[in-house]
């Protein structure tokens, strides 16, 4: 499967930001990877219109419920209806600021699949867990708890995002990234069987135009989840173009 470069706009972007998507569309040309942009929910339908089929768009979270009295929440079917193909789930900012547990993330994944969306499930250790040498165990437990059975390369990708690398400009060494990605693949197959052997494992956390080539061309890395550097088309395109065709 081709590598995937996904942009996570987080809570950034108003109507004027759609110009970045126009620029992205113009620049994509012969990208050697799949591309996805996840704008805030308020821009999703318009982003879908601007993308005009040149690249898919996705959500950043969805409810575990199908519908009902859940003020402020957005269902997976609503994301799909607005044009999304995919939704990011279990991002560390959701886990940290909204108390999302592995069990809740797993329920959200099931809701997304039921609505016909694919998912990007995020895992990653905090700084303290990293310092304590617990990164492998933490990510193992998150994979076990957040990825339901039924995961396959077409409906699921995993994003390894060390929390201490998100928005900080710090990144693990290439050897650390390769090692953790191999570990995650092992955890997936051990927990969910050979069907998950081809699930894409993305790296996320301070990916930028300067480090993209090194990270994205690692054999173990199947793509990137990009936050800050996805907001500007020129930076995001440099990251996308860092992937060498096979």
φ and ψ at residue 206, rounded to 5 degrees: 60, 35
Rounded Cα–Cα distance for residues 105 and 112 (Å): 10
Which residues, numbered 207-246, are part of the site for ligand PGA (CB under 6 A)?
A: 207, 225-229
In this structure, are residues 215 and 178 in contact, taking their beta carbons and an 8 Å threshold?
no
Is the CB of 33 or the CB of 225 nearer to ligand PGA? 225
Rounded Cα–Cα distance for residues 24 and 230 (Å): 10
Cβ neighbors of 137 (< 8 A, separation 6 or more) are none
Residue 60 touching ligand PGA (CB under 6 A): no
Residue 204 touching ligand PGA (CB under 6 A): yes
Rounded Cα–Cα distance for residues 20 and 28 (Å): 12
Which residues, numbered 81-100, are part of the site for ligand PGA (CB under 6 A)?
A: none
Is the CB of 77 or the CB of 92 nearer to ligand PGA? 92
Active-site annotation holder among 91, 130, 140, 181? 91
CA-atom Rg of the chain in angstroms? 17
Residue 167 touching ligand PGA (CB under 6 A): yes
Q: Which of 58, 206, 222, 236 binds ligand PGA (CB under 6 A)?
A: 206
Write out the catalytic residue numbers: 91, 161
Applying CB under 6 A, the residues found at the interface with ligand PGA are 8, 161, 166-167, 204-207, 225-229
């Amino acid at each position: 499967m081709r590598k995937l470069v996904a942009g996570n706009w987080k809570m950034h972007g108003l109507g004027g930001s759609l110009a970045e998507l126009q620029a992205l569309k113009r620049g994509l040309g012969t990208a050697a990877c799949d591309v996805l942009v996840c704008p805030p929910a308020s821009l999703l339908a318009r982003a879908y219109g601007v993308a005009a089929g040149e690249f898919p768009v996705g959500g950043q979270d969805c409810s575990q419920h199908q519908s009902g009295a859940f003020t402020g929440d957005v269902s997976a079917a609503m994301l799909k209806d607005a044009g999304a193909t995919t939704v990011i789930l279990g991002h560390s900012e959701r886990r940290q600021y909204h108390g999302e547990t592995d069990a809740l993330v797993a329920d959200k994944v099931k809701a997304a699949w039921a609505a016909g969306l694919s998912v990007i499930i995020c895992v990653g250790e905090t700084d303290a867990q990293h310092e304590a040498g617990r990164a492998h165990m933490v990510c193992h437990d998150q994979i076990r708890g957040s990825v339901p059975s039924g995961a396959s390369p077409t409906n699921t990708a995993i994003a390894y995002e060390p929390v201490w690398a998100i928005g900080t400009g710090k990144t693990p060494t290439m050897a650390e990234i390769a090692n953790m990605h191999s570990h995650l693949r092992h955890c997936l197959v051990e927990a969910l069987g050979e069907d998950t052997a081809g699930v894409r494992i993305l790296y996320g956390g301070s990916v930028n135009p300067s480090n993209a080539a090194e990270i994205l061309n690692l054999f173990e890395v199947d793509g990137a989840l990009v936050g800050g550097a996805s907001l500007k088309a020129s930076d995001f395109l440099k990251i996308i173009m860092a992937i060498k065709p096979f």
